[in-house]
Structure 1
Amino acid sequence: MTIALIRPTTDLYDSWAAAVAEFGGGHIDGSGLQAPVIPGRVTLDQLIADAARLADTSIAPPEDRVHNDLYWIVDDAEVIGFLSFRHDLNEWLREAGGHIGYAVRESRRRQGYASKALALALDRAREIGLDRVLVTCDDDNVASARTIEGAGGVLQDVSDQTERGHALLRRYWITL
């Protein structure tokens, strides 16, 4: 297993499309895509352009966004999942999204990919000088809660986000 976080690229289009398809067209945490998701060249080209703009700290992000590093979780040349690392928190991210969002395709879950990807994201947080990061997961997502706790996450609370279209969310802080 050789896990890496890489920026979206057309070089892995087929693997990206297969990973997106495995999620069944719904929202995919950390992917930068909005549901419904229908893989296509235009969608990937737009995703790459949007990701580059949001990662560029020399350009102010749109008013409702923050600087964000969008990554694909890759094992060799296979896209295993997605990870979004937000440099700052706006109101919505403080309440529900956190600094880091990730998803691993169903066929590759329970193999350590989420843990390794989260560890790499924490390294990125240290690189840009953060002292701690907020990571959230649905209250009923036991696997993600264990992943976050395994990375040193300390539960802040369980927040009711149902009015925003989310389930109960577990909010964790990880000190770097």
Structure 2
Amino acid sequence: MALTLVAPSVDLYAAWREAHAEWGPGLHEDGFGLAATDQVGTVEGFTAWVERVRTGAGTSRWIVEDRRVLGGIGLRHQLNERTGHIGYGVRPSARGRGVASWALGAILQEARALGLQRVLVVCLADNPASARTIERNGGVLEEIRGPVRRYWIELPAAGEPGVPAEEGADG
């Protein structure tokens, strides 16, 4: 599996639209930073949305394999108690391959490079696959608050024990 995290790009318009269509109408696509007001159905609207996401306060990445958009992952540089630091989503046809686990591991490296010492990652309590993804990446359950599981992941500084020298794709 040759996965990469890439900054959102207008060059991937057709590939992103294919992934977006696979989720279907009305379904939430975590990790893309898509708001209800974004008009991504036209090239102009998509271009405006990509620019907004690229210049926002966080780090947005698309999970890409062979120019096929498999999902998205976003890193908020400031803690949001409700949604945590990181949100991600993988299109249905790419699930079960370790894509989310790989992407979370990769974005954790970016969080560490930004100097974050720990991050909050949340998922729905009834989403065991996402819970496993977070736990595989060092997530420690803080609590279940209503419909949400809250996990903290410690990010030791580079060179400290527990920091891998290099990570590859799993799956």
Scaled by the length of structure 1, what TM-score is found?
Answer: 0.83
Structure 2: gaps (5+ residues): 156-171
Q: Say if 1:73 and 1:79, in contact at 8 Å, map to a contact too.
A: yes
Instruction: Name the SS for the 2:55 alignment partner.
Output: helix
Q: Which residue, out of 69, 77, 93, partners 1:79?
A: 69
Return the alpha-carbon distance in structure 1 between the equivalents of residues 50 and 132 of structure 2.
Answer: 31
1:28 shift after superposition: 1.0
The share of aligned pairs that are identical, in percent, is 45
2:112 aligned partner: 126
Q: Which residue, out of 157, 163, 166, partners 2:143?
A: 157
Runs of 4+ in 1 over 3 A off after TM superposition: 35-39
Q: Say if 1:158 and 1:170, in contact at 8 Å, map to a contact too.
A: yes
Instruction: Name the SS for the 1:28 alignment partner.
Output: coil
Return the alpha-carbon distance in structure 2 between the equivalents of residues 36 and 138 of structure 1.
Answer: 24
1:7 aligned partner: 7
The aligned length equals 153
Return the alpha-carbon distance in structure 2 between the equivalents of residues 99 and 132 of structure 1.
Answer: 9
**2:58 partner amino acid:** N
2:150 aligned partner: 171
2:29 aligned partner: 28
In the TM superposition, 1:101-120 aligns within 5 A as 101-120=87-106
**2:49 partner amino acid:** L
1:36 shift after superposition: 8.0
**1:81 partner amino acid:** G
Does residue 70 of structure 2 align to residue 70 of structure 1?
no
Scaled by the length of structure 2, what TM-score is found?
Answer: 0.85
Q: Deviations over 1:17-67 (max 9, x none)?
A: 00011111222111111248753313321122102321xxxxxxxxxxxx2
1:10 shift after superposition: 1.4
Q: Deviations over 1:83-138 (max 9, x none)?
A: 1111111xxx21x2111000000011001100000001100001100110000000
Q: Say if 1:85 and 1:121, in contact at 8 Å, map to a contact too.
A: yes
Instruction: Name the SS for the 2:138 alignment partner.
Output: coil
Structure 1: gaps (5+ residues): 55-66, 161-167
Q: Deviations over 1:120-167 (max 9, x none)?
A: 11000011001100000000000000000010000011112xxxxxxx
The structure where helix makes up a greater share of residues is 1
RMSD: 1.4
Instruction: Name the SS for the 1:73 alignment partner.
Output: strand
